[in-house]
Structure 1
Amino acid sequence: MTHILHVLDHSLPLHSGYTFRTRAILRAQMARGWEVRGITGHRHSASGPLEELVDGLHFHRTPGKPATGNPVLREWRDIAAHADAIEALVQQWRPDIIHAHSPVLNAIAAQRVAKRHAIPLVYEIRAFWEDAAVGNGTGTEGSPRYWLTRQLETHAVRNADAVAVICEGLRADLATRGIDPAKIIVSPNGVDMDQFGTPVPRDPALTAQLGLEGADVVGFIGSFYDYEGLDDLIAAMPRLVRARPRAKLLLVGGGPREQALRDQALASPFADHIVFVGRVPHDQVEHYYAQIDILAYPRKAMRLTDLVTPLKPLEAMAQGQLVAASSVGGHRELIEDGVTGTLFPPDDPAGIAAALAGLFADRGIWEDRRAVARAFVERERNWSSNILRYEPVYQRLLARPARTRAAA
């Protein structure tokens, strides 16, 4: 039986797009009959034992706490600690494949162990770490740190036996760095249809509690980062309310921009049309999806959003929801304008308002739009079929007479 060890940044019980993708991969691989475990580094912040089962998945943790001090030295110390933990688990469990997931620090730690034990290594990139730092406001494009991280990423890709990326934008970028496209597979974001494929009915009591009776509801459910463009969505509300007086905006979640967004909403002339819920338990999220007529994803235009496809619009489509999103590259890979969703210009509150008002004025298309979008997810972005993309890569690596590392 094939043993797959996934090297991770963080995992369940933490909730994020990263952990939900991981959960889907591990569950699908277990259903395939493979033995699967995950090991997280020091960036996993949830308390718990060094080995635990969460939601039926087997996780190991890197012991100790994150290093402190100089950022570069701190990260190298964390890599060393992560590598030591991977080494101990490899000696105990003997995986056939090591599957490391971004950020690049995980790949570096995993490669040290994989090379020592001649174990094939797959490196999966969900976003380039340097671009994620810019999107999160913790880095600057073109800075020395940005350049160094980019070089580490390229080096890690060259030294992996195979590379998986979540979208065509990332594969195209790696090709410009001289990486052989044949070495790269695209394993796109998908949805567990068993979990998201059966929408719940709207709860009238929750509708009343939120003050949404009779409203045209636009919503966002997710993390409040700057690159999500929620400030543009709030700025669009005056125009939208003037066109659709019953329009309301429901924001569910939290994050670094939450207070700034609350302050912006409070200063809006239509503050009473903007409802903040805060974070909600994951098992309650579907009830908030049911309150929303149109899910809006107004991501700003930048390298991160042009290269990376998000998970949330797919989950919304699986829930039978209407989706409207900015026309950044990551969204264009997921949404066909006028077919599975509506695209509007990024960084443009007036364009957002016009697109949303147009959708509310044309309810006759809603039923067909929802059905087409859901069928797209079920057919092309369902994890039960997405998982098949890894299998030929694993088989090819395991069939090598000598499991040598890829040439640098």
Structure 2
Amino acid sequence: MDVTELRVALFTGNYNYVRDGANQALNRLVGYLLRQGAAVRIYSPRTETPAFASVGKVVGVPAIPLPGRGEYRAPIMIPPRVKKDIAAFDPTIFHVASPEILGHRAVSLARAHGRPVVASVHTRFETYPRYYGLAFLEPLMLATLRRFYRRCDAIVAPSESMAQLLRDQRMSYDVGIWTRGVDVEIFNPDRRSMVWRRSIGIADDEVVIAFIGRLVMEKGLDVFSDAVDQLARRGVRHRVLVIGAGPAREWFERRLPDAVFVGFQKGEDLGRAAASADMLFNPSVTETFGNVTLEAMAVGLPVVAARATGSESLVIDGVTGRLIQPGGVAAFADALQHYCENADTRRAVGEDGRRASARYGWDRVNQELVDTYLRIARQRAMGGRAPRLGPNP
């Protein structure tokens, strides 16, 4: 079997109705598969107002707004009409990208049809409850995720640190890597614009600490704010630039009244905004990779990040940035202060990060997943059995 014989059925809770790193990676993957001659069909909730034009043929599935996060939609079933479409498409492999009802039903359908399943892991869902006062639910979340992933033939993580965590959590016996890439045409130091900085009220001699990403509490907005407060109390001169949008924006604006909020940016505008900062501060522990971390490295910024999955595989502590124990507000402030007060160090660390980011090309990383598809499909064709690690949901 080669790539032209692949027929991939992709199931995801969000393919293009809210823009995030996960669904942009999935769209890039589909584009790569189609260019290589594979057939792809996407099954996902649809909307009349998508965040961006999607790649490939999308078949809509019923969904309802997610409680408390209405911008996202929760698939509720695979109806008969969609099952007929799947049967007519006759996939050689199922790819499930989110462990909710749609993903569970897709795995059950794949088992019924004798088709292998690869699952991609995009976020640490088990950490979410702690940001909403429900930390006691984490063991239940872990058990539910383990049951889901163990019914798949293989799972892929976007970083080695996340893959090792999945092994430690006993999520699967077959854990591979599908990392992420960066578009160096968009993300490079030449995008830096002092004119743009001045247009949003930032002086040329001000050192800019950037937050880039969706404005949701699970991104560590509280830790970010507390560390910035410490800088202010120490008298460290800086400006905060917030690039992104989300339901917690109002909270973040109240918490950081002197920050500059430029809202959601994309494409070349995002590249310009990132390159026009002086460092990235990413305290989140929920990412499995950290697209914004890689993009910041590509534009030549030092990165101060939580020592967590994703960041650990990208940032070399003391070389391309600093890795700090999650929640370590004082240590985060120390690292930020060092970069704020040492321009030569900022430039040297940023250049090391730019060089390190050069090895992350999209075609290369997507081919790694294609290789996993082919390996799993060949194993099944040679008589390999579906995982027998739990009953169907």
The TM tier, using the shorter chain, reads: 0.7 to 0.9
Residue 142, structure 1, aligned to residue 127, structure 2: no
Partner AA of 2:146 in structure 1: T
Distance 1:151 1:324, change over 3 A: closer
Q: How does 1:94-109 map to 2 (within 5 A)?
A: 94-109=90-105
Q: How does 1:88-167 map to 2 (within 5 A)?
A: 88-135=84-131, 137=132, 140-143=134-137, 146-167=138-159
Partner AA of 1:142 in structure 2: F
Pick one of 240, 245, 269 that aligns with 1:284.
Answer: 269
Using the size of structure 2 for normalisation, the TM-score is 0.83
The corresponding residue for 1:54 is 53
Using the size of structure 1 for normalisation, the TM-score is 0.80
Distance 1:383 1:353, change over 3 A: same
Q: How does 1:9-408 map to 2 (within 5 A)?
A: 9-41=13-45, 46-47=47-48, 54-62=53-61, 64-66=62-64, 78-79=75-76, 81-82=77-78, 84=80, 86-135=82-131, 137=132, 140-143=134-137, 146-178=138-170, 181=173, 183-197=174-188, 199-202=190-193, 204=195, 206-214=196-204, 215-241=206-232, 246-266=237-257, 271=258, 274-280=259-265, 284-299=269-284, 304=286, 308-379=288-359, 381-399=360-378, 400-402=381-383, 404-408=385-389
Distance 1:95 1:199, change over 3 A: farther
Partner AA of 1:210 in structure 2: I
Distance 1:337 1:281, change over 3 A: closer
Per-residue Cα deviation, 1:123-162 (whole angstroms, up to 9, x for no partner) = 1222343333444x2x72333xx54443332222222122
Partner AA of 1:388 in structure 2: Q
Please tell me the root mean square deviation across aligned C-alpha atoms, in Å: 3.1
Q: Is the 8 A contact 2:186 2:267 kept in 1?
A: no
Q: Is the 8 A contact 1:39 1:61 kept in 2?
A: yes
How far is the alpha carbon of 1:248 from its aligned partner?
Answer: 0.8
- Output the CA distance in 2 between the equivalents of 1:348 and 1:150: 25
Partner AA of 1:208 in structure 2: R
- Output the CA distance in 2 between the equivalents of 1:67 and 1:250: 31
Partner AA of 1:259 in structure 2: E
How far is the alpha carbon of 1:99 from its aligned partner?
Answer: 0.7
Q: Is the 8 A contact 1:101 1:124 kept in 2?
A: yes
Stretches of structure 1 that go unaligned for 5 or more consecutive residues are: 70-74
The corresponding residue for 1:72 is none
Partner AA of 1:211 in structure 2: G
Per-residue Cα deviation, 1:330-382 (whole angstroms, up to 9, x for no partner) = 42222111212123443344333321221133222344423321222222x33
Percent of aligned positions with the same letter in both sequences?
21
Per-residue Cα deviation, 1:4-32 (whole angstroms, up to 9, x for no partner) = 12111111253112212212322333333
Distance 1:176 1:340, change over 3 A: closer
SS of the equivalent of 1:4 reads strand
- Output the CA distance in 1 between the equivalents of 2:249 and 2:156: 33
How far is the alpha carbon of 1:401 from its aligned partner?
Answer: 3.5
Q: Is the 8 A contact 2:126 2:141 kept in 1?
A: yes
Partner AA of 2:363 in structure 1: S
SS of the equivalent of 1:219 reads strand
Instruction: Single out whichever of 104-113 and 167-176 deviates more from structure 2.
Output: 167-176
How far is the alpha carbon of 1:207 from its aligned partner?
Answer: 1.9
- Output the CA distance in 2 between the equivalents of 1:369 and 1:91: 52
Q: Is the 8 A contact 1:83 1:113 kept in 2?
A: no
How far is the alpha carbon of 1:200 from its aligned partner?
Answer: 1.8
Distance 1:102 1:133, change over 3 A: farther
